[in-house]
Every structure is written in C-alpha cells, then in structure tokens.
Amino acid sequence: MTFPFLIRPARTSDVAAIKKLVAPLAEERILMAKETVAYYEGLQEFRIAESAGEVVGCGALHVMWEDLAEVRTLATDAKWRGKGLGHALVEHLLAEARNLGVSRVFCLTFEVEFFRRHGFAVMADQSAVDPAVYSELLRSHDEGVAEFLDLARVKPNTLGNTRMIRTL
C-alpha cells in the first residue's frame, strides 16, 4: 500500500526537517550529517517529499560537471521506508538531471541494492571522467566532488561506502 505524497522544491523552512531526517541515518553512519549552513547553501538542490503537510523525505541533485551530477542526502522517515517514497525521490532527481542535460548520475552509498534497482552500477575506477575534467574537478571545494574523485582527504568519512554511477 502506498500513501499520498508530493515532491516539491525545498524551502528555507524545511532545513530543520531535513536535518531531522538525516540525524538517525547519520547516527547509523549511513549518511553524513552536515552543518546547518551547508543545508542552506545547497537548498536549491533539495527536493522534499511531503505528506499531509509533514516532510517525510528529501534528496538533492548536485551538478558536478557538464554531463555529471550526484544524488545526495537521500533520506526518508523510517515510517515511510518500503512504501515507494525513496524510489519516487530518486526518479524525480533523475528526471531533473535529464532536464538539466546531465547524462550520468553518481552516488556514494551503503544502499547498493537500492541504487542498483534504479540502474546504478558500481564504479570500478575513475575512468568515468576524462583526465582533463578530473583535473578541473580537483579545483572544487565541494566535499561531494572530493568523494567522487576518491581523494584521500575524504577517506575517513567514506570508508565502506560504494561509489555508483548511472548513465541516463
């Protein structure tokens, strides 16, 4: 049985709810918690799943390069897991990627089977980006880009995560 929800762009008033969704997953080391300011800075990337006025899920799409984006901070309320909400959020974010002209979407996850069901495959190496693009991405200050590039400075935060990618 599925329950009605809508997916919409995030608003500043949603940041507290995003943090609340992420907190238990961060405690389980499934997601990394961020400083509040980081959620505000990336707010335009977030989509919110809402049911009866309550925020029940979130996810973000971060464009990294002309043809590459990342699904980030995908979280659902525990009561909503297994009801299609995560699926709907991922599909919504992939549709946005297509609309932006992105042809590949990356994720860093412990939920390998979930993303595999959405067409993602484990990345074997860094050949997903051209060497010239790789050198440009090295200039980014974004931690997600560093995670994608598998840089040593983010290793303590990403140990055990799987890097996956999907071609649209």
Q: What is the pLDDT along the chain (168 residues), one digit of tens a residue?
A: 456 999 999 999 999 999 999 999 999 988 888 899 999 999 999 999 999 999 999 999 999 888 889 999 999 999 999 999 999 999 999 999 999 999 999 898 889 999 999 999 998 765 555 556 555 555 656 665 555 655 444 444 555 678 889 999
| Burial (CB count within 10 angstroms: exposed 0-12, middle 13-18, buried 19+), residue 115 | buried
Do 2 and 83 contact (CB within 8 A), yes or no? yes
d(C-alpha 76, C-alpha 73), whole Å: 10
**58 neighbors 48 (Cβ within 8 angstroms):** yes
* The pTM of the whole model exceeds 0.85: no
- Report whether 112 contacts 123 (CB < 8 A): no
Question: Nearest-CA neighbor of 71 among 17, 124, 111?
Answer: 111
The pLDDT of residue 37 is 94
Q: What is the pLDDT of residue 154?
A: 45
Give me the sheet containing 46-51, strands edge to edge: 6-9, 46-51, 54-65, 68-76, 104-109, 162-167, 121-122
18, 63, 78, 136, 155 from 25: Cα distances, Å: 11, 23, 10, 32, 19
What is d(CA 147, CA 161) in angstroms, rounded to the nearest whole number?
A: 10
Locate 12 and state its tokens.
């500043």
